[in-house]
Structure 1
Amino acid sequence: MVVTATRTEKRDVDVPASTEIITYEDIVDSGSVNAMEAVSKMLGVDYNTYLPGGSAQTSMTNEINVRGFSYGTLILVNGNPINLNNTYVIDAIPAEAIERIEVVKGGGSVLYGSEAQSGVINIITKKKVSNKVRVGFGNYKQQQYNVAVGNDKLKINYDLKKWGYVKEARYTAANTYTNLKESSNENIGIGYNFNDQLNFEYNHLDTEVSYESLKKGRLNSFTDSSNKQDLIQLNYNGNKTKGHAWFNKTKLDYDGSSARNLFENESFGADLQQNIELNNKSLLTVGGVYKREVYNSKLKKGKPSIGKKARNQMGLFAQLDYKFNDKDNVIIGGRGTWTSSESNGQSYDNFSTSAQYIHKFDQDKSFYVSVAESFVMPSFKQMFPSSWVETKPNPDLKPQEGINYEMGYKEISGNHAWKVALFHMDIKDNISATLNKDDTYEYSNQDFKNTGFEASLRVDASEKFDYDLGLLVHNPKYKWDTDIRNGWHNKFGKYQITGGVGYKIDKFRAKLTGSYIGDRYSSPSTMSYSYKLKPYFLTSLTATYSPDNNSEVSLLINNLLNRSDILSYSNKVGFGSLYTPTNFMLSYTYRF
């Protein structure tokens, strides 16, 4: 069942969109220890990371690029948006806290507003937790501790993941490497269920990173960075009425020999939705959203920076789900969005529409066509960038606006599940960082397009054996029109192959997973032309033995082939974050 795609519960085969569902069991079997790792192994997702364990490098946080597009993925936790200035830190959301992750690829702005241009990822946490304790140790001084306790009303979850010293984690210049000294991801989660419909959640995420840069074997610079995030939400899920209220706050503080910055982001708001059954064939969904965004950049090289910026964002949406007959269904929607009280006097407005048609051949086979407009409002971080690198403000940035076209086929045949999709993305005024002649950065509007084909197969061959396979072929391109370069340039990878093989017998289970992206390109702001990167191949193997119902021993091995692939899209040829050499984690879980 999928909720995110239409804001109403539907079977996956009844949804006219490219969707993926990752259950808790899928996450554990794949060896993922947090939400970021779970999503990074999906078809259509390009994983851009910086330091081992998914740690950020100062303000450069992990990116989830869906179908070759940056800054177009909206991240939700239980339906609440957590994107703050186009950034999010989900590597601190532990696997143990997640019930499932729903991913909807394609334009989702009509239902979810800004930033849902290439996809929506909804991380749905567990309402109830099993009482358990988990400890793990691995090479590179890896440590993991998890404790979960609760009952039908209250749940408490604590998770801590640490990494130790990793040599040459990032190649930054000739004979210059960045070494990870240590990092930690900590999560404290508390939830309370007032009843079956109303629940409260609080999560505190704390990421601490310390790294150093060595040039020709000598210390060149050092940085200590912390990113603290608080997520507070109240969720109501009635039969016809749904509502969310949230408060999110992040504080990014980094201090080093070459930079000193402090950023604070804050967002609070509410989302209300009403489902109205007009008759037995029509369902009307209407709703409204209010969001307050605050951005505060306090320091830049020890001097006052741009300061505090704020705005209000409002939206109204409506969607009609009309059933012609047992086989044909159409969904049309529209959304109006506007801003007010901009600190810089700028205001924005947008109206987006969508239309979807689905034909059911039978209960388990469907064909769909979808056309959806989408948009992304410029963030304060883009309009008023602040960094140790010289930057220029651009308060007149235009919103990104685009259209996503897609047709697809879904089929469940016995123990086989097939999905095929053909899509085209056409985005105007894509917001990208550019380098000026005076070596200063600023954000400007460019264009983006991509056409591709996606196919996946999942097979539960027997009670013991299952496998999945996915293929994506596409051609993402950015159009530049600057003094340094112009024309269309390739970016990201042109094809991706994902797969996994699982085996279960008696008290033992194991799974091998992989994600390969080839024909990769980086299109940085500092280069005249795109350049080619070598492919990356993410691999992991998990093996678990459960001697009884209460105990479990697991072994996770990452980077089985010991590849030194570049996992980030760097500014210069050959620069970037390197895949950590083969690493393992041995853990023990006890349920009580």
Structure 2
Amino acid sequence: MLKLNRKKVAALFMILGILPQSVSFAAEKLDQYNLDEIVVTASQEKIKQELNTPATTEIFTAEDIKNYNGSNVQEVLEYAAGAIAAQPTGVGSTFGMRGLTGASRNPTILVDGVPLNMQGFGNLDAIPVNAVERIEIIRGTGAVLYGTDTLTGVINIVTKQTPQISASAGYGSRGKRLATLNVSEDKFAMAYTHDRIAERNWYTAKKTSQGKWMEKNSVMLKYKPNDNLSMRYMLTDNQNDYDKFAALKKTGSNETNIVFHDLNVAYNNKGLDVTVFGQKRKYKNNAYNAAHELMSKNSLRRNSWNYGVDAKYNFDIGKFNITTGAEVALEADSHGNVKGTSFDLDMIKRHRKAVYIQAVDNMTDKTTLSFGGREVMYDDMKNEFLPSLQLLHKLNNKDTVFLNVNKSFRMPTIGDQYSDSDSMIFNDNLGPETGWNYEIGWKKLLSPREFLKVSLYHLDISNRIFTQKIDDDHSMVVNANKFKNTGLEVSYEGVLSDHWSFKTSVAYSDPKQIDKPGADFRNCDDKLLINSVLGYKNGKLATNLLHQYAAMRYLSYAPYSGNGIKQYLSFNATYQFDKENSVKFAVNNILNRTEEMAASRGCLLPYRDWFITYERTF
């Protein structure tokens, strides 16, 4: 087991004692950024907090979430600036930003400030939107306090705190059914969602896999007996069945079930925050031939665990505000086919440890500076030191500029290295990746109801971990020798009149990578992404037209293409009868297009569908 590099940590503590610091990244609820107060087009105080944040941020408020056609967080995030959220073949969730749409594990996912990621799975589709108050995206930072998987940023899902009881039921085309229940009071909260669809489009362009049944049941329980102690439990049972074809003739089928458990207990008192966490993911896949006979060698089982403790302490020394902490965790994975080696013999474990520190200081009333570092240790495999620097300067009360420089690190998951499936091939030669993020940005309050954000970034990654498509049905997680991407993101959000609102984001980048040493850089992923929402309100009626557009797309299995576009147009209308009763009608994929959801994944857009939902608040 490698020892901690004491010289690096000692040097870090020495530097922190000399140089001034600024706004650090989010604490448990991101209160050091006060992101719970950031809502664009809201009050002047909330806009002030947005201007004071030294990072590119995006907030989905409770009203925004209602405006989108999503039953879980995964579906809402499809409209994030410069992002592609895609449901891969099978069950799970992927979310990519800044040219890394093919690597599904880049952002760190938090629920109320507590990490949800588990061995490469973001589990965004496990979170029902009826339990969510808002979603906060902070790009290009977070490694110091939250460790690996933060190269492109952090997503924090803030759950509802106010007392409320609500229920909804929905019905739609293609067997779409939806039911939700949300109960919350001062100390206890519960949210449940049942979501299913009986027919989906072809998963693959060559029509070799087609979805026939997807059903998801999610529950979240929260208990907070006092101001210092809180507990959360999440359970998701996800079923996905699909048929296999050759030359449009059915050759078999697959039934996949994933059960995900997440439990954590958090204690905070006088600057001390301690979180004990545990997660389990159980994967079961049965493969059948055309006669519906079980094919044992192709039927897989996989159990994954992640549990540990993270403790941090926040205190003041003179003009400095310091956050320091440590994490100890165990990752484990067992896998095999139905008649293969037993799970006990296939069990693989590894320990993850980290120490970190970050400091904050307001240098002047206009300028703040922040930096810190994290030392990450994985048994005898790898040690990595992750420094971070942030600078914020206020030009005036309506304009701010910022600078971010930070390093990120990611280990391959145990499953990517040693476990394969019907669609994924294992790679035991997979290694860790390291990357640097450089970013400058400008935020401008155009008017009390209009906000503009511009950011220029550059990513430089060595040994990038990404999903390489082998053929239409199979993929493998591999290392690319080098990856780089320089991009520009521009977003605008405004209330245009008493009835109309508009939100749009344009992200243009140039993602390239070298697959093997000595090779040339090649284009990869999507270069142009535009997401827009046009809203209209008049009395009790509210409507939204949502559009996603992607162009200059470079597929991982056709690296020199660069052709094709993605257009995904959706619509919804909500009528609020009174304070307690409302009905919502929605149509997804109005144009019924069938492009790949994300260039590096190859999973096709779902067919056009509609659904209608009734909601009652008590």
Same fold (TM over 0.5): yes
Which digits, 9 at most, give the CA deviation of each residue in 1:136-161, with x for residues without a partner?
00000100011122321212221100
Query: Alpha carbons of 1:386 and 1:154: their partners in 2 closer, same or farther (altered >3 Å)?
Result: same
Cα contact 2:171–2:613 (8 A) shared by 1: yes
Matched, 1:452 2:487: yes
Residue 593 of structure 2: which of 560, 563, 579 is its match?
563
For residue 542 of structure 1, report the CA deviation from its aligned partner: 1.5
For residue 448 of structure 1, report the CA deviation from its aligned partner: 0.8
Which digits, 9 at most, give the CA deviation of each residue in 1:232-289, with x for residues without a partner?
122345563333221111111111126211111111122222222223x421111211
Taking the TM superposition and a 5 Å limit, the aligned residue runs for 1:173-572 are: 173=206, 176-238=207-269, 240-257=271-288, 259-279=298-318, 281-299=319-337, 302=340, 307-340=346-379, 346-388=380-422, 393-394=427-428, 397-412=430-445, 413-432=447-466, 443-481=478-516, 486-524=519-557, 529-532=559-562, 534-569=564-599
Distance in 1 between residues matched to 2:95 and 2:246, nearest whole Å: 31
Distance in 1 between residues matched to 2:506 and 2:205, nearest whole Å: 32
* 324-333 or 457-466, which deviates more: 457-466
For residue 127 of structure 1, report the CA deviation from its aligned partner: 3.0
Structure 2 counterpart of 1:375, which letter? F
For residue 86 of structure 1, report the CA deviation from its aligned partner: 1.1
For residue 570 of structure 1, report the CA deviation from its aligned partner: 6.1
Cα contact 1:260–1:302 (8 A) shared by 2: no
Cα contact 1:185–1:207 (8 A) shared by 2: yes
Which digits, 9 at most, give the CA deviation of each residue in 1:329-367, with x for residues without a partner?
100111111122xxxxx4211101011111112334211
- Identity across aligned pairs (percent)? 25
Matched, 1:117 2:151: yes
Cα contact 2:468–2:600 (8 A) shared by 1: no
SS of residue paired to 2:33? coil
Taking the TM superposition and a 5 Å limit, the aligned residue runs for 1:92-171 are: 92-128=126-162, 130-166=164-200, 168-171=201-204
Q: Which runs of 5+ in 2 are unaligned?
A: 1-22, 35-48, 289-294
SS of residue paired to 2:347? strand
Matched, 1:47 2:73: no
SS of residue paired to 1:481? coil
Bigger RCO of structures 1 and 2 (CA < 8 A, at least 6 apart): 2
Query: Alpha carbons of 1:246 and 1:29: their partners in 2 closer, same or farther (altered >3 Å)?
Result: same
Give the TM-score of the pair, scaled to structure 1: 0.89
Distance in 1 between residues matched to 2:444 and 2:415, nearest whole Å: 43
Query: Alpha carbons of 1:239 and 1:458: their partners in 2 closer, same or farther (altered >3 Å)?
Result: farther
Question: Which of the two has greater strand per residue?
Answer: 1
Cα contact 1:455–1:470 (8 A) shared by 2: yes
Matched, 1:28 2:66: yes
Query: Alpha carbons of 1:118 and 1:301: their partners in 2 closer, same or farther (altered >3 Å)?
Result: farther
Distance in 2 between residues matched to 1:106 and 1:37, nearest whole Å: 22
Structure 1 counterpart of 2:617, which letter? R
For residue 475 of structure 1, report the CA deviation from its aligned partner: 0.6
For residue 78 of structure 1, report the CA deviation from its aligned partner: 2.1
For residue 83 of structure 1, report the CA deviation from its aligned partner: 2.1
Structure 1 counterpart of 2:32, which letter? T
Cα contact 1:164–1:181 (8 A) shared by 2: yes
Cα contact 1:369–1:406 (8 A) shared by 2: yes
Distance in 2 between residues matched to 1:405 and 1:465, nearest whole Å: 36
Query: Alpha carbons of 1:390 and 1:577: their partners in 2 closer, same or farther (altered >3 Å)?
Result: closer
Distance in 2 between residues matched to 1:392 and 1:268, nearest whole Å: 24
For residue 98 of structure 1, report the CA deviation from its aligned partner: 0.9
Residue 604 of structure 2: which of 573, 578, 584 is its match?
578
Structure 1 counterpart of 2:280, which letter? K
Give the TM-score of the pair, scaled to structure 2: 0.86
SS of residue paired to 1:28? helix
Cα contact 1:146–1:159 (8 A) shared by 2: yes
Distance in 1 between residues matched to 2:32 and 2:546, nearest whole Å: 32
Cα contact 1:300–1:386 (8 A) shared by 2: no
SS of residue paired to 1:383? helix
Question: Which of the two has greater helix per residue?
Answer: 2
Distance in 2 between residues matched to 1:426 and 1:390, nearest whole Å: 27
Cα contact 2:240–2:256 (8 A) shared by 1: yes
Distance in 2 between residues matched to 1:311 and 1:354, nearest whole Å: 26
For residue 587 of structure 1, report the CA deviation from its aligned partner: 0.6
Cα contact 2:465–2:477 (8 A) shared by 1: no
Structure 1 counterpart of 2:352, which letter? Q
Structure 1 counterpart of 2:277, which letter? W
